[in-house]
Amino acid sequence: MAYIEWSMQGAQVSQCNCNIGCPCQFNALPSHGHCRAYVFVQIDKGHFGDIKLDGLRWGGLFAWPGPIHLGNGTAMVVVDPLASPEQQAAIEAVASGQETDPGSLITQVFSTTLSKVLPTQRSPIDLTIDYPGRAARVKVAGLVEGSAESIKNPITGLPHKVSVRMPQGFEYDEAEFLIGRSRTSGPIELNFDETHAHIAKVHWGTHGIIR
């Protein structure tokens, strides 16, 4: 089957309800038996076929009643209102796992675990991902506000730097593990205090992570 060729290059921030480090990153069960998470992406350079996606932002809010692989999840996509209808449709296609090799990318894998997808929200995404500074902030009015920073050494208070590589992963090749907090007021509850977060450089495409 021939897919539309697409790619996104930029940065992402993700946070979930698991303990710092997130067992799911290592094919273990989630810390509290269920999973709630968000991911937001800054596209520095991208396209979906002939549709340019440069400079756009988008994200997803997720909730599963148990481990992700057992399914029955709920999701909502958030799209930058600067996106044209064609650009929004392209982002929604990527977010829902379309035009992507099965099993090759987090968006496609997640799509197979969802039983409910809420309507896409068009709302300004205030997003800052400071990769050198190991920090990130995101705010979408009426939906979610979150922040992430370096894990701190409990004795010295100094940053505890943790980088994780996944040469065969389907989300990132390398990520900086952080600690995060968030609050939500939308239909998917994501109220986290000092839980797992990570930032990573994004280079996704039709056939998975571009390495």
- CB count within 10 Å of CB 116 equals 10
Contacts for 74 with CB less than 8 Å, ≥ 6 apart: 62, 63, 64, 114, 115, 116, 117, 118, 188
pLDDT recorded at residue 186: 84
What value, to the nearest 5°, has the Cα angle with vertex 8 and ends 4 and 96? Answer: 60
- Beta-carbon contacts of 30 under 8 Å, excluding residues fewer than 6 positions away, are 16, 17, 18, 22, 23, 24, 67, 68
Residue 2 corresponds to which amino acid? Answer: A
Domain residue ranges of the chain, discontinuous segments joined by +: 6-209
Reduced to 3 states, what is the DSSP secondary structure of residue 190? coil
Question: Percent helix, strand, coil in the chain (nearest 5)?
Answer: 10, 50, 40
Q: For position 2, what pLDDT does the model report?
A: 86
Beta strands 114-122 and 73-79 are parallel
Cβ burial, residue 207 (10 Å; 0-12/13-18/19+):
middle
Phi/psi at 107 (5° precision): -65, -40
DSSP string, 14-82: EEESSPTT-GGGGT---TTSSEEEEEEEEEEEEEETTEE-TT-EEEEEEEESS-GGG--EEEEEEE-TT
The Cα–Cα gap between 36 and 188 comes to: 8
For the chain of 211 residues, list the mean pLDDT of each consecutive stretch of 10: 93 97 93 96 98 98 96 97 97 97 96 97 97 96 96 92 94 96 92 97 96 91
